[in-house]
Structure 1
Amino acid sequence: MAAPNTITSPIVTPSVTEPAGPSALAAGHGPGGRGLSGGGRSGHGTHPERPSARKDPADVAQLQEHPVSLRRIAALFRPYRAKLAVVVALIVATSLVGLANPFITKHLIDTAIPQQNVPLLLTLIGLMLGITAVTAAFGVIQTWLSTVVGQQVMHRLRTSVFEHLQRMPMSFFTRTRGGELQSRLTNDINGMQSVVTNSATSIASNVTTVVGTAVAMVALSWRLSLLSLIVLPPAIYLTRRVARMRRAVTAKAQRALADMQTQIEESLSISGVHLAKTLGSGPALSQRFSATSSELTELELQSQLAGRWRMASMSLIFAAIPALIYLAAGLPATSGGMTIGTLVAFVGLQAGLFRPLMGVLNVGVQINSSLALFSRIFEYLDLPVTISDPAQPAELSRPVGRLRFDDVSYSYPGADRNALSHIDFDVPAGSSIAVVGATGSGKSTLAGLVSRLHDPDDGAVSIDGVDLRELSLATVAGTVGVVSQETYLLHASIADNLRYAKPDATDAELVAAAEAAQVHQLIESLPDGYRTMVGARGYRFSGGEKQRIALARTILRDPAVLVLDEATSALDNATERAVQSALDTVSHGRTTLTIAHRLSTIENADLILVLDAGRIVERGTHRQLLDAGGRYAELVRAQRSAAPADDQPVIAAN
């Protein structure tokens, strides 16, 4: 058999610029790898785009605190098991078909080219091109199917978590950072795509490729296979050492990046900018941001240079592998009559073995990181819902607004005393009741019970004789309207803000609500009218204007019971009078519960309750309570003495 005079391997030695590992395969660079990059978790777990050689302590702690059932994870993918089976079959087929190329190369070099066998040459070249086309087609189909499954699972989880969080009590949101909620809904659930298209597919691809390549190498030359096994362990060891070094640096970089994101959110929000300008803290904020950015730059430099000398050592190992193979093939004692085609095919197989082998070695880390991701998502889904719809909700066909507290007591979770104790009163439909008291007396808690932000521990809160716990949450929201001191407007048009309360409201209904809140003329005076954008948190409007827009939004639902939770306490006197005039108009014919701040808002109430340490210590009309000379009279005198001569007397705010 004729043979060429020189041996030139067409196989490129694996690059050692980056430590090879599962990250490279996950990105689709390894044999059979077709993964799509997925979202990582901010500051938690193993990102699919960086190598890892050991389990992340954060992942281990997460799984210890909130274990994950494999059966529960499998249930998420059960509706898509047919698609997943096809994905796995395509991965295996792609990996196995790809192993044919070295054998085709062997026959090209050993037979077709030396013998000038044109039919065989054309057949082998056609096979090479056909294999490339088939693997490319398989890759497209696999990517499409795995992405479809990942996106559908993400959609179901994302909506489930969002709906579940909507049902959480207010206490949950007061103790949970908003950034944490956003991270779970975005980063963690986006990581589901990585689990499907990266972790799961790379594991299947790596295992298939390693097993198939090892079998093919032994079939070609068992002697050279033994030689490869001798060289691989130090290469694997050095790679894992470098990955551990980078993990430590990357963890610091993540913390610095999180700090930078926090600075951006706090400093460049409209509230943050306003605060910085009024305090003159802009230069200090810029200096702080610059320091964080400089730290991030240094950490990135460390990450790129981490273990560079080890990587240089590994480059010698990679160069030594083909050199030793060529040496063994050239020595009579070890060649075993090997042909040049067999040598080239073997070198090609050996060069493609390292990356998937590293992936197989890191399967435990990938699985642990994926389980931690599921754990964080399930942790929120498993949070108990304390306030929910009853199994068979009662109905209020035409609520009139009779409000009753029947010996109600309530304490916040973990509190050492009741926020409210034995509250008992009955308010006829259409009348007004005011609640006053010092800070911490329980006024806002009482208002929260009326709108069912809380459920009483003892007793019952009822409307028209029906316990609120027997009504659906939608019925309660439609029956009880709340206007609070802290007005929240969406970054949308005025019309969209109003329709937030009633999405199907007509333009005429918007106008009627705005007129009742005495804000229609203001809106009409704007160039874009009801299409005017309110800006972030409504900053383009004054406090009184925002309050009246919020009032119009509440009116749009036409509630039978109106709760005014210190709605005018943050306004100046002139603005307060304008808003109070609108409130008086809107309150007509409705049962109104007013958490009092200024005396002018409650002196005409049908009933005034005075709270102290969660108990009703006085009740009656304004005149009756003044004549009694008790706690209410003391509050009035104290506020009158503290107020300017031309100001209204003030009751202490909560």
Structure 2
Amino acid sequence: MVLNLAERPGRGAGRTVTPAEKAQARSVSLRRIGALFTGHRNQLTLVVTIIVASSVLGMASPFLLREVIDVALPQSDLRLLVYLVLGMVVVAAVTSVLGVIQTWISTGVGQRVMHRLRVDVFSHLQRQSVSFFTKTRTGEVQSRITNDIGGMQSVVTSTATSIAANLTTVVATIVAMVALTWQLTLISLLVLPPAIYLTRRVAKMRQQITAERQRELAELNVIIEEGLSINGVQLSKTMGAGAAQTERFTGSSNRLIDLELRSELSGRWRMAAMNIIFAVIPATIYLAAGLPFAAGAMSIGTLVAFTALQGNLFRPLMSLLDVSVTLTSSLALFARIFEYLDLPVDIASPVRPVRLPEVRGHLRFEDVTFAYDSSPAAALAGVTLDVPAGSSLALVGETGSGKSTIAALITRFYDPTAGRITIDGVDLRDLDLSDLSDIVGVVSQETYLLHTTIRENLRYAKPDATDAELVAAATAAQIHSLIAALPDGYDTMVGSRGHRFSGGEKQRIAIARTLLRDPRILVLDEATSALDNETERAVQRAFDELARGRTTVTIAHRLSTVRDADQIAVIDHGRILESGTHESLLLDGGRYSTLAG
């Protein structure tokens, strides 16, 4: 069996998965689940050995009990009675200690497997292109990592050991029962056919319900993320949508109640039926032992020992069947996780990346065409640009003309559909992604700050940066004096998404963070759009100073910020209409002169 990726998450604005039927149609290879435990074979072998030893040792108790009832008590043999009782205590003590050791080892293995799975999913998603995240709701991604992997915990941490323990116990118990009386053993095993039938029915129901529940949990996560984030709360308050959001959350929560009830009741009905069967079997055995034709055929001690063994059989047998239900229902969770792990990485580092011994920063676009997946029309068409090392390029044009798409291609958020982009003559696709992030620094119009201190936000760009380097970067971005005036200085918490600061302050912190990386190529995607005129002029002066020796690509609506660029390109509908200096473009009287007017 293999995972059928009928549809990848994030295709569209609604749910990120197809309807329930497709999710239920997925199947997961048990071999693939077993492969999660690769590297833990020695520990698992030890666990199985402990389980077998514990199960076999536990079978001694009924035989000791039989000797107590049939021999020691009738014959008033105190010495034998003491030995038998001590033997029963030792058996209980040893099996208990072995159980603790087995639980310690198996739980440790399970938790390490869970840790590895969480890390694998997180790191694989980190490698996904920006395109994936623009199509997938954040709450859905969070739900897969937390709810789905969390729901698999009991399967990963205890299922294998539970199967081994209960299977060993069942086999050992049946052998012991046959040794006591094979006739009564046959009567006891009459419980198997109805138990297996009921379990299979419950397992199928649970699998369907589990898939539905996880989708609903993902929906609940999305509602929480959208409704309780700072931006979501502000939108809700300004739109008066609080009641509607609460109603949406209430509906999702109510659906979860129904799913949980269905899941629990499906198991309870089976348990009720099995309890009745388990009560009938011992009663039948007692009746059979008392019938005239069976009178004297077995001792009371044998009957008591047999019924004790029978109880030991039913408990692990039910546990085995419960494991079957849990494993079957959890396949829906494994399907959702493996679906993410199987996502192809669209933007990846090459197997043999080209290393630039010395980065000059010569940037070129060579007949570049690009189209987004969601749009049949090209966002860029035949764009050719040449930005010599240390020079500056300004991109101007109306909203939606393709300026930010050019910036996204420089950072390799996307790859061109046709043509190529080079730095110092090397195609971006031939560079390691980590090297590219060191070469290209970006400050965009949409500033994102982490919910931590200013210091840690800056060090996100350079973890080993000294305090002096932080101050230098903040000073260049015209934000140091403001930070220094705060009671906690650089240890001030910025708040969720930086909402403690104004738009201009957040943008200057982001500028400082980028400058801390000291990139050879700067991409400023309307980086001063949130600044007032005075602050903008100050930051622009800092950029002018810092741009010396760097290649700078600036995107701006305000032509005042780009008039001194070495070259200016006017973009319209993904094409370059004209390019030149500020003065030459004004003299040409084309689109640029219209924008400048």
Shared topology, TM-score over 0.5? Answer: yes
Deviations 1:204-261 (A, max 9, x none): 2232222222222222223322333345655665666667677777766656554444
Amino acid of the structure 2 residue aligned with 1:62: R
Q: How large is the RMSD of aligned CA atoms in angstroms? A: 3.2
* Partner Cα separation in structure 1 for residue 101 and residue 276 of structure 2: 39
SS at match of 1:353: helix
**2:360 corresponding residue in structure 1:** 400
Contact 1:68 1:374 in 2 (8 A): no
Counterpart among 378, 394, 400 of residue 418 in structure 1: 378
Q: Deviations over 1:78-124 (max 9, x none)?
A: 42222211111222222222222222221111212222212221221
**Residue in 1 aligned with 2:7?**
none
Partner SS, residue 198 of structure 1: helix
Specify whether residues 229 and 152 from structure 1 end up closer, same or farther in structure 2 by C-alpha distance, changes over 3 A only.
closer
Q: Which residue in 2 is equivalent to 1:276?
A: 236
Matched-pair contact (CA < 8 Å) for 1:257–1:296: yes
The equivalent residue for 1:136 is 96
Q: Give the 3 Å change call, closer, same or farther, for CA 304–183 of structure 1 in structure 2.
A: closer
Residues 1:61 and 2:16 aligned together: no
Does the aligned pair in 1 maintain the 2:393–2:553 contact within 8 Å?
A: yes
Match of 2:500 in 1: 540
Whether the aligned pair in 2 keeps the contact of 1:62 and 1:376 (CA below 8 Å) is: no
Alignment of 1:596-635 (within 5 A): 596-635=556-595
Other-structure match for 1:435: 395
Which runs of 5 or more residues in structure 1 are unaligned? 1-55, 638-654
Alignment of 1:199-214 (within 5 A): 199-214=159-174
- Taking a change above 3 Å as real, the CA distance of residues 526 and 421 of structure 1, as seen in their structure-2 partners, is same
Equivalent residues in 2 for 1:28-39 (5 A)? none
8 Å Cα contact 2:208/2:329 also seen in 1: no
Question: What letter matches 2:360 in structure 1?
Answer: V
Aligned partner of 2:526 among 544, 551, 566 = 566
Whether the 8 Å CA contact 2:139–2:223 is kept in 1: the answer is no
* Percent of paired sites with the same residue: 62
1:295-347 deviations in whole A, cap 9, x for unaligned?
55566566666687876665544433332222222222234522221111121
Q: Write the deviation string for residues 536-581 of structure 1: whole angstroms up to 9, x where unpaired.
A: 1101000000000000000001112110112233556566555545
Counting only pairs closer than 5 Å after superposition, residues 144-155 of structure 1 correspond to structure 2 as 144-155=104-115
Distance (Å, rounded) in 2 between the aligned partners of 1:605 and 1:379: 47
Give the CA deviation at 1:488: 0.7
Select which of 479, 489, 503 maps to 1:529. Answer: 489
Q: Distance in 1 between matches of 2:112 and 2:256?
A: 36
Contact 1:405 1:423 in 2 (8 A): yes
Q: For residues 559 and 69 of structure 1, do their structure 2 counterparts lie closer, same or farther at Cα, with a shift above 3 Å needed? A: same
For residues 350-409 of structure 1, the C-alpha deviation after alignment (integer angstroms, 9 at most, x for no partner) is 223234334545666555556665554444344333333344444444433222222323
Structure 2 residue 437 is the aligned partner of structure 1 residue 509? no
Counterpart residue number, 2:48: 88
C-alpha separation between the residues in 2 aligned to 1:349 and 1:417?
74
Rounded Cα–Cα distance in structure 1 between residues aligned with 2:463 and 2:259:
49
Counterpart-to-counterpart distance in 2, 1:259 and 1:376? 14
Counterpart of 1:442, as a letter, is G
CA contact (8 A) 1:328 1:335 kept: no
Within 5 A, what are the aligned runs for 1:45-56?
Answer: none
Q: 1:356 to 1:549 in 2, by over 3 A?
A: same
Aligned equivalent of 2:13:
none
SS at 2:76's partner residue? coil
Counterpart AA for 2:26: Q
Q: Give 1:594 deviation, angstroms.
A: 0.9
CA contact (8 A) 1:409 1:420 kept: yes
**Equivalent-residue separation in structure 1 for 2:215 and 2:176 (angstroms):** 46
DSSP 3-state at the match of 1:533? coil
Measured in 1, the distance between the counterparts of 2:553 and 2:541 equals 16
Q: Secondary structure at the match of 1:592?
A: strand
CA distance in 1, matches of 2:26, 2:464: 44
Give 3-state SS (helix, strand or coil) of 2:37's partner: helix
User: Would you say how many aligned residue pairs link Structure 1 and Structure 2?
Assistant: 578
Structure 2 regions of 5+ residues with no counterpart? 1-19
The match for 2:128 is 168
Paired residue type of 2:393 = I
Distance 1:292 1:158, change over 3 A: closer
Q: C-alpha distance in 2, partners of 1:582/1:438?
A: 26
Q: Distance in 2 between matches of 1:449 and 1:260?
A: 35
Per-residue deviation, 1:585: 4.3
| One-letter amino acid of the counterpart of residue 592, structure 2 | Y
2:157 maps to 1:178: no
Following the alignment from structure 1 to structure 2, what is the Cα–Cα distance between the partners of residues 159 and 315? Answer: 42
Name the CA shift for 1:304/1:399 in 2 (closer, same or farther; >3 Å).
closer
Against the structure 1 CA distance between its residues 61 and 118, is the aligned structure 2 distance closer, same or farther, given a 3 Å change threshold? same
Residues 24 and 211 in structure 2, CA contact (< 8 A), matched pair in contact too: no
The answer for the alignment partner of 1:101 in structure 2 is: 61
* Alignment partner, residue 118 of structure 2: 158
Q: Is the 8 A contact 2:507 2:530 kept in 1?
A: no
Question: Relative to 1, partners in 2 of residues 1:249 and 1:559: Cα closer, same or farther, differing over 3 Å?
Answer: closer
Question: What amino acid sits opposite 1:81 in the alignment?
Answer: R
- What corresponds to 1:19 in structure 2? none
Matches within 5 A, 1:6-25: none
> In 1, are the aligned partners of 2:236 and 2:242 still within 8 Å (CA)?
yes
Separation in 2, partners of 1:291, 1:372? 23
* Contact 1:228 1:321 (C-alpha < 8 Å) held by counterparts: yes
2:514 matched residue in structure 1: 554
1:383 aligns with 2:347: no
Match of 2:426 among 462, 466, 481: 466
Distance 1:91 1:507, change over 3 A: same
Q: CA deviation at 1:492?
A: 0.9
Superposition map of 1:190-201 within 5 A: 190=150, 193-201=153-161
